[in-house]
Amino acid sequence: MATKHHHELHEGEALSAAAQTALERSGEQWTKMRAAVFDALATFDQPASAYDIAEAVSNAQERRVAANSVYRILDLFTAANVARRVESENAYLANRHPDCLHDCIFLVCDKCGQTTHLDNDKLADGVRDAAREKGFNPERPVIEVRGRCASCG
């Protein structure tokens, strides 16, 4: 169950270091390729597909990187809480606080694509409690709210 917490949002070098720590804590190695994929992912302001990330890494390394290789790395990242998957977009965001494990809520603008990560432990706990009341064991709730952001009205 998620609990009320305070977390630090990391940026730049601190974000990469926090991601590396989280990945290694999960038992995985932080390789050059994984670092390159994370660095590319962290540059996107909106959710990025594996193809977007593969293109960014390919351009940075001046060699072709296959999207299926990026997908495998993104699977590791989501399992280690280093990245979050926006299910409805089949796209990913860097988790700016990978040292904090909780349920996330995404607000996805249907007009501009802006995706806002929202932490609301009360709502997340309510979803988990409702699932348990039906005899269901929630392992990874996915909450996405589609609509329009403040800029798009």
pLDDT of residue 11: 67
DSSP letter (8 states) at residue 142: -
Q: What is the mean pLDDT, run by run of 10 residues, along the chain of 153 residues?
A: 52 85 95 97 94 97 95 95 92 86 85 87 90 91 91 91
pLDDT of residue 96: 84
- For the packed helices 50-61 and 67-79, what is the interaxial angle rounded to 10 degrees? 110
| Ordered structural domains, the chain, with CATH | 12-94 (1.10.10.10), 105-147 (3.30.1490.190)
Other CB atoms within a 10 A radius of the CB of residue 41 amount to: 26
Containing H/E element for 13?
helix 12-25
Distance CA 52, CA 13 (A): 22
Amino acid letter at 35? A
Whether pTM > 0.95 for this model: the answer is no
DSSP letter (8 states) at residue 45: S
Distance CA 44, CA 21 (A): 21
pLDDT of residue 61: 95
pLDDT of residue 6: 53
